[in-house]
Amino acid sequence: MAKTKRKGKRQRLSSSYRRLVRRADRVLEENDVDLRPDNWQQVVLDWLEPAGPDQDTLAAFMAAHETELGLPWAREMLRLEVFFQADDYEQIIAHYERGLSRYPRCGLVELWAADNVFRRAGDYWRARGMYCFAMEQMPDHPKPYYEVGFMHYLLGDFPGALDWFNQAADRVEADDAMLGSVIYYNRALVRYVVEGDRKAALADIREALRRRPDYAQAKVARQALRRGELRWIP
Amino acid sequence: MTDESIYVEVKAYWSPTRASAERITQMQLEFSLNHYPPKGGDSIAEIAWSTGSVEQAMAELPSFVPEQVREICRSLLQPWPEGRYTEAYGRCGGILNLYTPPWGEPEDEAWAAMLAGWQQARFADEQSRQEALQALEQRWNHTPHPFWAGLTPAQVLVGGGRREAELAEEFLARLKETYDGHGFSSDGDALQQTLLLLRGWQVQPRGDGLTPQEIILAERDELLARRTRALQQAGRADP
């Protein structure tokens, strides 16, 4: 009986996945997406619009694996983008597993999917492997280091979190406002707990606010640190 | 009718995941097994350690304790292994680890790294190789582990005590007050918010200047010392 129930649930999930893939295809049609052997790489870049150096990373990945990827992979990537735009994390994870797992792993795609596996599905151990893969593929990218640092913080490993945040801070660009500010903000708090170094923590908070002057949590943390109180509001 | 009154309190907790809800029972049983009378006397766990008899310790449990709970107690009271404390993987790790998604040896990067170092090292003979492995296992047992919120496997295996029980109640009440009935965008979001609350709470100094984390670690060390004493008094080895 239990077996039939499980099978029933699997079938429902499978049918829901296929239905959403069809819906994504309709979205692509409505947007006149025209994937061809001579343009699929550019269409993927245009649709996904990866920021800054990520654009070069994705372009290099497609060039390196051109023969293994091609039109079918490009279509799966565009579907993935539709699911990202719909903010449907369950479908993002399902599509990462079912649509993309047969192709070479791309560090950038792992990074995007891992955020959903980690923060929304709460599957920390799986996400950890994906972030580590992203680090191997993109050793200069600050985000996987930051995410693993945040994971260590959530696991209660504050010294480990500090190590990872240090590595993220070493890699983040000086003009990266969003990621840079959260890296410095979190490093400040962990640094204060692990090392008790209020000056260093305040310097990190100042750096977070330099990058994002309207960062409300950093302002609160700055006041608390100045008063010598630890008010942890991540 | 005995001269001891029986007090049963039923409490409801809010929990972000099924796994953490299931661990609450184990955590509270660990607290109960480590409870010793303040004016002297042994805890149920100490009876098991000093006598080497799980059944003798189990006899101390009140008669109304259901069989299902007895089974959990029996498994918690099992003698510790001489080598690596792998049983710690199956323990809840107390309030500091209650919400950590379940993990085990496959995820244990710390042990994998230690083992890789041993495998690459050269030894004069097989005996020294095996001795090095045994030493490594003991080192793992007593090294703070990143995935156990800095507790050592020995600290995980010994369980929590009276002060951790009070702190756990305090945190669980705060968690319920903060998040019960709160809408979360996903299971992962509920888990993350819970962990953020926990990690903030555990490092806030209290009236005596100590943080919950410091109190919990110190108490688990005390319990480990009581265990060593119990084993020594009984003339039993502490592996």
**Domain ranges within chain B, ordered by starting residue:** 18-233
Spell out which residues of chain A touch residue B17, defining contact as CB-CB under 8 Å: 122
Report the pLDDT value the prediction gives residue A230, as an integer from 0 to 100: 59
Residue A122 and residue A115: Cα distance in Å, rounded? 10
Whether B157 contacts B87, CB under 8 Å: yes
% of residues, chain A, pLDDT over 70: 93
Spell out which residues of chain A touch residue B103, defining contact as CB-CB under 8 Å: 125
In chain A, DSSP assigns E strands to: none
Contact A120 B205 (CB under 8 A): no
Q: What is the ipTM of this complex?
A: 0.93
Residue A46 and residue A55: Cα distance in Å, rounded? 10
| CA–CA min distance A75, chain B (Å) | 28
Please write the tens of the pLDDT for every residue from B52-87. 999 999 999 989 899 999 999 999 999 999 999 999
Instruction: Inform me whether the pLDDT recorded for B28 exceeds 50.
Output: yes
Please write the tens of the pLDDT for every residue from A73-86. 999 999 999 999 99
Q: Which of B151, B155, B195, B198 to mutate to test the interface with A (most CBs of A within 10 A)?
A: B195
Q: Which of A124, A163, A182 to mutate to test the interface with B (most CBs of B within 10 A)?
A: A124
Report the pLDDT value the prediction gives residue A1, as an integer from 0 to 100: 44
pLDDT classification of B11: cutoffs 50, 70, 90: confident
Average pLDDT, chain B: 93
User: Could you state, in order of their start, the residue ranges of all structural domains in chain A?
Assistant: 8-120, 140-234
Q: Which of B96, B98, B189, B199 to mutate to test the interface with A (most CBs of A within 10 A)?
A: B199
**Residues A199-204, mean pLDDT to the nearest whole number:** 95
Domain A140-234 fold? 1.25.40
Report the pLDDT value the prediction gives residue B40, as an integer from 0 to 100: 83
| CA–CA min distance A173, chain B (Å) | 27
Instruction: Inform me whether the pLDDT recorded for A187 exceeds 80.
Output: yes
List, in order, residues 6 or more apart from A142 with CB less than 8 Å away: A168, A169, A171, A172, A173, A176, A179, A183
**Residues A32-55, mean pLDDT to the nearest whole number:** 90
| CA–CA min distance B187, chain A (Å) | 6
Spell out which residues of chain A touch residue B148, defining contact as CB-CB under 8 Å: 156
Q: Which helix (H) or strand (E) holds A156?
A: none
pTM, full prediction: 0.91
Instruction: Inform me whether the pLDDT recorded for A174 exceeds 50.
Output: yes
Query: Residue B76 has which token pair?
Result: 């918690």
**Residues A215-228, mean pLDDT to the nearest whole number:** 90
Report the pLDDT value the prediction gives residue A6, as an integer from 0 to 100: 56
Whether A181 contacts A172, CB under 8 Å: no
Sign of CA dihedral B218, B223, B228, B233: positive
pLDDT classification of B41: cutoffs 50, 70, 90: confident
